[in-house]
Amino acid sequence: MNLTKVNHHSQISSLLLLLALVTFAFSQGPPKESGSFREPDLVELVKLDPTIKLDIRYATGNNFLGKPVYKQARAFLQRPAAEALARANQNLRTQGFGLVVFDGYRPWSVTKAFWDATPADKKIFVADPSQGSRHNRGCAVDLSMFDLKTGKLVQMPSEYDEMTERSHINYECGSAEAKRLRGILKAAMEAEGFVVYEPEWWHYDYKDWKEYSIQNVAFDKIKK
């Protein structure tokens, strides 16, 4: 038996299944919401602040699914959140660090696909699509820092998207340096109106997230 061919076919089958989940979620559409919301104004982060680095893992196979789910490596936030993030980035640059963004606005269909593909005991790390995600509203960002001198990601207590206790913002068993760096990021983000999601040191929600509705628009369809 040719194991290379078997593995290749298995990878293709997994990718096709994931694409099918995303496509089905698009056809279903997000949950209906009542109330009044601000008009969406999604801003591309690197156009607002070109010094923000992007490492859009979901446009690659380097993520918890092992498959790309985005066709484009781009990141957006609602304008007030994007402007707040740019201020946090400039603050951190005075301390020798810059922000690197893993994900920002996320179409609802992708949240649905994540939920469907995640085991029950790990669902604390993914949003329930029946409620929508703050990523879907354009008011959540996944990020870390890089060292301005070396250009390398700093060492945090866990890897991005690691589904273990090490990812918790209050995890106490990491190295002193990793906890110090995690604290620097937290302070800079909180100063600009972001709140950390406790199970994930990398996930921050902007204070006004309730004022925006759930979106399911693909990156290439976002109005400039």
- Could you state, in order of their start, the residue ranges of all structural domains in the chain? 3-30+39-221
Is the pLDDT assigned to residue 85 strictly greater than 50? yes
pLDDT number for residue 175: 92
Could you give the CA distance from residue 72 to residue 60 in angstroms, rounded to a whole number?
Answer: 9
Q: What is the mean pLDDT of residues 88-100?
A: 98
| Separation of first and last alpha carbons in the chain | 51
The closest alpha carbon to 129, from 47, 21, 208, belongs to 21
103-156 pLDDT, tens per residue? 999 999 999 999 998 999 999 999 999 999 999 999 999 999 999 999 999 999
Q: Is 200 in the active site?
A: yes
Lowest average pLDDT, out of 7-21, 106-120, 153-167, goes to 7-21
Quick check: 77 and 102 in contact, CB under 8 A?
no
CA 136 to chain CA centroid, Å, is 10
Provide the total of helices (H) and of strands (E) in the chain, helices listed first.
5, 7
Q: What is the mean pLDDT of residues 63-87?
A: 96
CA distance readout (Å), 146 to 49, 101, 201: 15, 10, 15
169-219 pLDDT, tens per residue? 999 987 999 999 999 999 999 999 999 999 999 999 999 999 999 999 999
CA distance readout (Å), 24 to 51, 110, 152, 215: 36, 10, 38, 16
Q: What is the mean pLDDT of residues 156-168?
A: 96
Quick check: 146 and 53 in contact, CB under 8 A?
yes
Q: Is the dihedral of CA 144, 148, 152, 158 positive or negative?
A: negative
Host H or E run for residue 205: strand 200-206
Q: 39, 162, 200, 211: which one is catalytic?
A: 200
Host H or E run for residue 40: none
Helix axis angle for 108-117 and 3-28, nearest 10°, is 130
pLDDT number for residue 6: 47
pLDDT number for residue 212: 97
Task: Please state which architecture CATH assigns to domain 3-30+39-221.
Answer: 2-Layer Sandwich (3.30)
Could you give the CA distance from residue 43 to residue 83 in angstroms, rounded to a whole number?
Answer: 9
Structure tokens at 100: 């690197």
Helix axis angle for 79-93 and 176-190, nearest 10°, is 130
